[in-house]
Structure 1
Amino acid sequence: MQRDEMLAYCLAKPGAWVDQPWENDEVVKVGSRIFAFLGNPETGTVGVKCGANREIADEWLHRYPDDASVMAYLGRSGWNTLRLAGAIPADELYEAVDASYEAVVRKLPKRERPAGA
């Protein structure tokens, strides 16, 4: 999967928008919160919330040891970095983004939740 495909998929979510909080690093937010870290164009990864806790998120590490890793700084909260051009099938990458988006939307204040989310 290419980075532009993943970005387009993320932006198709209700209320999704791109932000660049750090130089050359893009994230996709819903409301005021990030649900996907795309980094800079060369990274070829997406950082998503893969579970409510580290134990659940670790399932990705066991299934895809070469293509999934604990995300720096947010890993203890269930965030992983997934490689886009590795062994993880595209449909599983999309499902991971869907789950991350849903987890973030659930925690948004009602006034920030997009219609249709």
Structure 2
Amino acid sequence: MMNIEEFRIFCLEKPAVTEEFPFGPETLVFKVAGKVFALTGLDEVNFKVNLKCDPGYAEELRESHEEVKPGYHMNKKHWNTVDFEGSLPEKLLKKLIDHSYELVVKSLPKSKRENLI
């Protein structure tokens, strides 16, 4: 379990991460080098986060954890919606955030990736 402030701090500690509200004041978005890797609704009752995920790993997570669902309002092949208030341990939540961040970084042009180091 992880609250929204812990989530926010964890994301902002990563290299080249920005915190933005491109979809309005109710949706908090974290980007690396201009690309989204995590977003959450601030007006939701339950704290859930959309995270990018490798398609095979996404299926595996959805099958083994009821807190992980296909990405809400996202490409369901590449995004999961993760319930941060469920029974998933903080260690796994951090691993999923890291995985999302790393997938986005890998997709960046080489010049942008090199600027992150």
> How do residues 5-84 of structure 1 correspond to structure 2 at under 5 angstroms?
5-23=6-24, 24-40=26-42, 42=44, 43-51=46-54, 53=55, 55-65=56-66, 67-72=67-72, 73-76=74-77, 78-84=78-84
* TM-score under structure 2 length normalisation: 0.87
Superposed displacement of residue 41, structure 1: 5.2
Name the SS for the 2:87 alignment partner.
Answer: coil
Q: Percent identity?
A: 31
Unpaired runs of 5+ in structure 1? none
Over residues 88-109 of structure 1, what are the superposed CA-to-partner deviations in whole Å (9 max), with x where a residue is unaligned? 1100000001011011001112
- Matching of residue 111 in structure 1 with residue 111 in structure 2: yes
Equivalent AA in structure 2 for residue 18 of structure 1:
E
Q: Which residue does 2:5 correspond to in 1?
A: 4
Rounded Cα–Cα distance in structure 2 between residues aligned with 1:21 and 1:74: 18
- Per the normalisation by structure 1, the TM-score is 0.87
Following TM superposition, the consecutive aligned residue runs of length 4 or more in structure 1 with deviations greater than 6 angstroms are: none
For residues 2-47 of structure 1, give each alpha carbon's deviation from its aligned partner in whole angstroms, at most 9, with x where no partner exists: 0110011011000001111111101100011001112225341111
Give the letter for the 2:71 counterpart.
Answer: M
Letter in 2 for 1:39: G
CA contact (8 A) 2:31 2:37 kept: yes
- CA RMSD in angstroms comes to 1.5
Segments of 5+ residues of structure 2 without an aligned counterpart are none
